[in-house]
Structure 1
Amino acid sequence: MQQPLTKVLLKIFAGGFYQVHAGILFFVFFIMVGTVPGNMLISYHKSLMLAMTSSPMMLALVLAVWLIYIAKSWHYVSIQLFAPDKQFLFYSSTALSLVEQRKSWYYTQAAILAPIIIYALMAVGVGLAHRFYILPAVIILFLSVIIWCSAALYMRVMNGLIDSNKQSLLLRWSSKWRKPYFSLYVYHIFDDKKVSYFITKGLSWLIISGVFYLFADVSTDTRVAGIVILAVITAHVVLIFEERRFEETKLSFARNLPVSRFRLFLNFASVYFFLLLPESVWLFSRFHLLMALELLLAGLSIALLFHSLLYWFGLNMDKYLQWILGLFIVLFWIIMFHLLWALIPLNLVIAYLFFYNNYYRYEGVVSRES
C-alpha cells in the first residue's frame, strides 16, 4: 500500500514530468517503434537489446543517452520543488521520518524513469537468455545507483533549509582568503552544491571503472580513453549548466569589469580544471604523460564547448540536452576515427567563437523552462 506522501509525489512530479515532456517522449517512441516495419519490430529491438548486453561500447553509448534523460529529470524536479505552489511539501513531507521520505522518493524517481527501467529490464532478460551476465549486472547496478542518488539529491533539497544568515563552515574558514574570479563557482559548489558534485563524481567513477573493466584487453587504446573522457564530461552537464546559471544570476556584474573576453574564457577553463581534478589524478596515474595531457585537454575542450553553447540560446535545459545528445554522437564517432588530437583545437576554437560572439549579446534572461 502506497504512503500518502508517495501518492502526492507521484502525482505532482512523475505526472507533471510526463505532461511537460509528452511531446519529446512521443517523438522518441515514434523513432523507436514507428520507424521500424511492423514485421521487424520485435527482431529489431531484440537485436538492439542483445547489442546492449553484449557490447560494452554500445552499452556505454546507451548509458550516456540515459544520463541525459536522468539529468533532465533531476532538473525538472529540483525546479518544481521551489515553485510557489509546491512550498507546502517543505512543511508536510519533512514531518515524516527520513526512511519514509526516502522510500517515497525512490518510487517517484522510478516512476519518472519508467520508460528506461522497462526497456532496461527487457534488455537484461534478453542478455541473460543468451548467457551474458556482466553487462546486465552493470545495467541493474547503474539504475539502482541512479535511483538511490536521485532520492538523496531530492531529500537534501527538502531537508536542507537552514537559516539564510548562517554561513557554511567552508565560507567561515575561507572568509579572509583571497578568492580569484575562477574560484567563486568552486566555492559555490562546495558550499551549496555538494550533493550534485558528489553524485557527478560517483557517476564518473562508475563510467571509468565500468568501461576499463570491460575493455581491460585494450585499456591502452586512445579511443577507449577518449570515449571515457567524453562520457565523464557528459556526466558533468548539470554542473556545467549550473555554472552558467551561477554566472548569470550572481556574477552578471563581470560584464562591466575591464576584463577581456579571452581572460574570462581562460577563467572558465580554470573552473573546469579544478572540477576535473579527481579525473586528472586518475589520468596521470594511469597513462604516460603525453597521453594523459592529451586526454585532459580533450576533456577541458569538451567542457568549454558545452559551456559556451549556453551563451548562444540561453539557460534552456531542454534545448541544451538536445544539443548535448547530438554533440555526444558526433564527438563519439570523431574519437572512433582516431581524431581525438584534432578535437582539442576544434572544440576550443568553436567554444571561443560562441563565447566571444555571444557574451555581451546575451540578455541575461533565464528561460522559464529552466
Structure 2
Amino acid sequence: MGAVVRVLHKVLVKKFYERNVGLLFFVFYLMFGVVESNQLINYHRSLIYGVLTSPVFLMGVMGVWILYSAKYLQLVLSELAEPHNQFLKDYSRLGKSHQFWPMLLSVVMMDQPVLLYSVFIVGVGIFSQQYVAVFLVFVFHFARLVGCTWIVLRRINSLHERKATKLLTSIQWPWKKYFPFFYLGHFTNQLPLALLFTKSFSLFAIIGFMQITTDHYENRTALMGLLFGLMAHSVIIFESRRLEETYLIFVRGLPISMIKRFLFLSLFYGVLLIPELVLLAINHIVWFDLLFITLFAVFYLVYQHTRLFRGSLAIDAHTTFTFGLFLISFMLVLFKLYWLEAFVLGILGFYQYERDYYNFEASA
C-alpha cells in the first residue's frame, strides 16, 4: 500500500500544489497578510465565532470548502484522462479497500489547507461550547472527503469502459448556435462542472461582499465581490482559448474583420456574465454605475483572453498573470478608478487581439 500512496502523491497531490501554489499563496495573504499583526488573533477569533454562531455564515463557508474540493477534483479527473496516466487503469484491479484508503489519504493531503483551519474552528467551538456547529463541521468534512474519494474511484473504475461516467449531466442546446454562443455550448456540453462551480463561486462572492453594510450608497463592495468572481473565470478563459486552438482554427480563415471578431468575443463574455450583472441590478446598483461595471467586467475577461494569443498556452503563466491583474484591479477599485481601467483594458485588449491573432501559431 505504501508504494500506491507514493505513486498517487506524485501523480495527483504534488501536481495539485504545483499548479495552485499561486492561488494558495493569494488566499494565505488575504487571510493573514492584510490584517495588522497585533489584530490577527482577534480577527480570526471573530471570524471563527461568526462561522460557529451564524448558520448562514457557516453555510457560506461550507460552500467555499466545496468549491475548493471541486478545484482538486477537477484536476484529478483531468489527470485521469491524460494518456500518460493511463497506468491508473490498473488501480481498478485492486480490491475495494485497497483502492479506498490510499485515495482517501491523497484527497486528505490535497485538502490540508482547509482541514488545518478547520482544526482551529473545532477547537474554538469546543472551547465556546458550540457543540452543534462543531458536529456539523465534522460531519460535513467527513462526507465531503469520502464523497470526493468515491467520485475519483468511480471514474478510475470506469476508465476501462467504453464510455466514462460524467459527474454532471451535459446540456445539449436544441437550437442552432451562432458563433459567439458556440463557446457556451462547449462549456454546457463538455465542461458543465467547471462552468457550474465558476458561476456559483462568482455569485457567492458578490452576495458575500454585498452583505457589508454601509451608511451610504457604495458600489465598491459589490465590485470587490465581482473581482473575485472574475478571477474565478480564469479557467473558463483558458479553456476558451484552448477550444479555439483545438477546434476553431478554421475561423481564422473566414472573411471577418478584426473589429467584428473582437465584438463577437466581447458578446460571448457579456452573455457569460449575465447572472452576475442581474444580481448587481436587483441589488439596487444604479444604472449609470451598472453600465461602467458591465464594461469593466467584460473587458477584464476579454483582455485576459486576448493576452493568451501571446506566447504559448500555459495554465501556470495564465494563473500567475490573473492574480497580478486582480491585485492591480483591486487597488483601482478602492480608488474608484475602475471606469478608467475598463477603457484601458478594452483598448489594450483590441490592440493585442489585432497584433497577435494571426501570429499566435508562429510564436506558440
Q: Could you say which residue in structure 2 is the equivalent of 1:356?
A: 354
Superposition deviation, residue 316 in structure 1 = 0.5
1:303 correspondence with 2:301? yes
**Structure 1, residues 183-220: CA drift from partner, whole Å, max 9, x if none?**
1111111111111111112212321222222x133684
The unaligned stretches of length 5 or more in structure 2 are 48-64
Q: Could you say which residue in structure 2 is the equivalent of 1:245?
A: 242
Which has the larger displacement, 203-212 or 107-116?
A: 107-116
- 2:276 aligned residue (268, 275, 279): 279
CA distance in 2, matches of 1:108, 1:46: 36
Q: 1:121 to 1:246 in 2, by over 3 A?
A: same
State how 1:250-329 maps to structure 2 within 5 Å.
250-287=247-284, 288-329=286-327
SS in 1 for 2:210: helix
State how 1:155-170 maps to structure 2 within 5 Å.
163=163, 170=171
CA distance in 1, matches of 2:210, 2:40: 22
Report the AA paired with residue 235 of structure 2: V
CA distance in 2, matches of 1:152, 1:189: 24
The unaligned stretches of length 5 or more in structure 1 are 33-40, 56-65
SS in 1 for 2:361: coil
Q: 1:12 to 1:49 in 2, by over 3 A?
A: farther
Q: 1:338 to 1:21 in 2, by over 3 A?
A: closer
Native 8 Å contact 2:205 2:226 kept in 1: no
Native 8 Å contact 1:311 1:355 kept in 2: yes
Q: Which has the higher contact order (CA 8 A, sep 6+)?
A: 1
State how 1:135-154 maps to structure 2 within 5 Å.
none
CA distance in 1, matches of 2:275, 2:192: 15
Report the AA paired with residue 81 of structure 2: F
Superposition deviation, residue 77 in structure 1 = 3.4
Q: Could you say which residue in structure 1 is the equivalent of 2:344?
A: 346
Native 8 Å contact 2:202 2:226 kept in 1: no
Superposition deviation, residue 229 in structure 1 = 1.4
TM-score of the pair, normalised by structure 2: 0.70
SS in 2 for 1:80: helix
Which has the larger displacement, 88-97 or 234-243?
A: 88-97
Q: Could you say which residue in structure 2 is the equivalent of 1:63?
A: none
CA distance in 1, matches of 2:230, 2:151: 20
Native 8 Å contact 1:225 1:295 kept in 2: no
SS in 1 for 2:225: helix
CA distance in 2, matches of 1:352, 1:156: 45
CA distance in 2, matches of 1:316, 1:263: 27
The share of aligned pairs that are identical, in percent, is 24
Native 8 Å contact 2:208 2:225 kept in 1: no
CA distance in 2, matches of 1:272, 1:223: 22
SS in 2 for 1:179: coil
Superposition deviation, residue 335 in structure 1 = 0.6
CA distance in 2, matches of 1:149, 1:186: 29
Native 8 Å contact 2:310 2:363 kept in 1: no
Q: Could you say which residue in structure 2 is the equivalent of 1:232?
A: 229
State how 1:98-117 maps to structure 2 within 5 Å.
107-115=105-113, 117=115
Superposition deviation, residue 307 in structure 1 = 1.2
CA distance in 1, matches of 2:321, 2:357: 19
Alignment length, in residue pairs? 328
CA distance in 1, matches of 2:115, 2:210: 25
Native 8 Å contact 1:203 1:235 kept in 2: yes
Q: Could you say which residue in structure 1 is the equivalent of 2:209?
A: 211
